[in-house]
Structure formats: C-alpha cells, structure tokens
Amino acid sequence: MRLPGLLAAALFGAAAALPAAAQDAARGAVMAAERCAACHGENGRSAMEGTPSLAGQPALFVTTQMILFREGLRQVPAMTAVAEGMADGAIEDLAAYFASLPPGPPEDRRPRDEALFAAGQALIGPRNCAVCHLPSLTGREQVPRLVGQREDFLARTMAEYRDGIRVGADSQMNGAVVGLTDEQIGALAHYLSQRD
C-alpha cells in the first residue's frame, strides 16, 4: 500500500473515532456562512457548476474529506485555503452543520430526460452502487449521498475515478466505474441527480 493510502486510512480511523458530542451545528453554520456558502450555497445546495452540494451529506464523510484537504492528501485547489489549519473540532462542527441540512436538488437542476434516466437506472444494479451508498443512495458514514447531487459534479467525479485521477480512502470507486464510457457515466450522473 502506498504511503498516501496509509495516511488516508489513518486519518479515516482518527475521524471515525471523533466524539459526536464535540459536534456543534450552530458553530458550523457560522463557519459555513464565512467559508463555504459562496461556492456550496447558503443552504448547502450548490449553484456553482462543478461544485458539490453538501446539504444532507453524512457528517463522517464531510469530516473525512476536510481532513484529507487539510493534510494535503486530497488536492482540490479551491479547498486548500479553506481547510488549511482548521482544528478537528471546527471540522466536526462544519460536518454537523451540513449533515443537519435538508438535502435536495440544486435550483438549476435540468429537466429529466426519461431515456437517459432509464439508462442510468439500469447501470446502478450491475455497478453495485447500493452496497456502499445504500439502496436509497443516500450514503452513510464516510460514503457520500449521491441522490440530488449536481449532475455535472457527479459526471466529472466518476470520470476522474475511472481515469485514475481521483482516489478515495480505498479503491472501491475506481473499480466500480472502470470500463464505463463517457455516455454511461453521463447516464448515471443524470439518474442520480434526478433522484430526490
């Protein structure tokens, strides 16, 4: 296992062990207004192309991602300055805030294309998405919520996993999307974005 993989696993373990009592969604709301709303939306629903919605994401998922950003293990230039120097407690508060928000689609979600929706739906089972993301595709623990997410973000993220540009705490997503065409990824992204 490569060193970044070991570090990510250690960070995930540390994040999973964080005490829930330390999370304060009210403090997280103040931080989100200052640091996150411009890109991720005032209500956690992003209106910015390529930027994920965070409303309703599992707290552990947000915590893990922020630690990966802070420690330089996940490279997203826009997030570097946001996460730099954030204390664990502040990250927990931010995660609690986003987890407390009602999830939903972005206001600029495009209309459903029934053929594309059906093509994406047909890929969910064979790709075993429900194993990690749950049958409802709402995520759990360190696994993100997919339904109602921005379509453009989902398509780019799946393509990055497929092409080996992006890695998670493990290689499950890379394996789940290996061999998918751009058209199949587009169909999956459309299906997931249209689910509420």
What pLDDT shows up at residue 10?
Answer: 47
Which of the four CATH numbers 3.40.47.10, 3.40.1170.20, 1.10.760.10, 3.40.50.300 does domain 3-100 have?
A: 1.10.760.10
Confidence of residue 170 (pLDDT cuts 50, 70, 90): confident
What pLDDT shows up at residue 2?
Answer: 52
pTM of the entire predicted model? 0.86
Write the CA distances from 193 to 55, 69, 161, integer angstroms: 14, 25, 18
Residue 25 CA to residue 162 CA, distance in Å, equals 35
12, pLDDT greater than 60? no
On the question of a common fold for 3-100 and 114-194, the answer reads yes
- For the chain, give every domain's residue range: 3-100, 114-194
User: What pLDDT, in 10s, does the model give residues 127-140?
Assistant: 999 999 999 999 99
Confidence of residue 109 (pLDDT cuts 50, 70, 90): very high
Among 71-80, 111-120, 168-177, 184-193, name the one with the lowest average pLDDT.
168-177
Q: Which CATH superfamily is domain 114-194 in?
A: Cytochrome c-like domain (1.10.760.10)
Write the CA distances from 92 to 2, 15, 56, 70, 143, integer angstroms: 27, 9, 14, 13, 16
Confidence of residue 45 (pLDDT cuts 50, 70, 90): very high
What pLDDT shows up at residue 18?
Answer: 47
The mean pLDDT value for 70-83 works out to 91
